[in-house]
Amino acid sequence: MPSVNFKNHLQLHLIVFIWGFTAILGELITLDALPLVWTRILIAVGFVFLFIKLSKRSLVLNTKTITLFFICGFVIAIHWLTFFHAIKISNISITLACISTGAFFTSLLEPIFYKRKIIWYEVFLGIMVVVGLLIIFSFETQYIEGILTALLSAALSATFSIINGKFANKYDSLIISFYELLGGLFVLTVFLFLLGDFNAQVFNFQGFDWLWLLILGSVCTAYPFIATIDIMKYLSPYTVMLTINLEPIYGTILAVILFTENEKMTPAFYIGAIIILSTVILNTYFKKLKKVSHN
């Protein structure tokens, strides 16, 4: 029988593949980043609420806990907003390559949140990520704004994963997901009202936008959001974030197939991206080496 960890790793890879597809949907959907993410979260909240009602779970929690979930929801909402904005102002390949730095940010933040020692190979892998980024920065200068936006998105993703790592062992993943998504929806609604963008002109759906948004909100958000929180009961935030580094592989392959002209990059980009993505393989190797040495 497969081990619990093996099943969780397998499910995590399925989730990462699905997340790779979100970048494709972000390119296909004609809406700007803010109304796109707002609609995505609204659909996801609806699906999660339906799951909760069908499973007869209680949403009753104390105000302090709900507030913490809301704050975490703010973080994930801004992460998604910067992610899709980066795609709109650069392209899928650049955005996904920069999102891979999430593991680097996690290696810096996890020791602080979990009060553990810094692990040497995480620092080494972090340096590799920086080298890969410097190569991309040096040659893809026309995408600087997109690169910086995607790096901010990666840092927010790392922060979100670490915070949720603490929640995962204490609360039901469905309940966490509902309140975090609700918190994200709240903060984006405030943004839309402050910007005066809550109108039909901003939410001008075209072509297959509704279909892509329905897939994005359900298959690519509600399911992986709940499943990832559940997985974090068994896997560390760093392992989760480093596995997410495979997202650019899946997403970039799909992007090159579907948007060939827009996704043509310089050879330097691919060198930098390969350096960043190789950290996934090296992390697995170092973790196995560490496990063997402890046995």
Supply the pLDDT for residue 1. Answer: 44
Contact, 198 vs 146, CB < 8 A?
no
> What is the pLDDT at residue 263?
63
pLDDT tens for each residue of 18-52: 888 898 999 899 999 999 999 999 999 999 999 89
3-state secondary structure 156-182: HHHHHHHHHHHHHCCCCHHHHHHHHHH
Q: What is the separation of C-alpha 231 from the centre of its chain, rounded to a whole number of angstroms?
A: 15
Q: 233: which residues sit within 8 A by CB, 6+ positions away?
A: 168, 169
pLDDT, tens digit, for every residue of 78-117? 999 999 999 999 888 888 888 877 877 887 888 887 777 7
pLDDT at 243: 72
Q: Are 45 and 219 in contact (CB under 8 A)?
A: no
pLDDT at 151: 92
pLDDT tens for residues 114-164? 777 777 787 788 788 778 878 877 777 788 899 899 999 999 988 988 888
Q: Please write the tens of the pLDDT for every residue from 217-247.
A: 999 988 887 888 778 778 777 677 667 667 7
Q: Are 45 and 185 in contact (CB under 8 A)?
A: yes
C-beta separation of 273 from 132 below 8 A:
yes
User: Are the C-beta atoms of 247 and 153 separated by less than 8 Å?
Assistant: no
Q: What ranges do the domains of the chain cover?
A: 4-294
Compare 113 and 182 and report the one with higher pLDDT. 182
Return mean pLDDT, the chain.
84
The helix (H) or strand (E) run that includes residue 291 is helix 267-294
Q: Are 105 and 160 in contact (CB under 8 A)?
A: no
Q: Where are the alpha helices (DSSP H) in 29-101?
A: 33-54, 63-89, 92-99
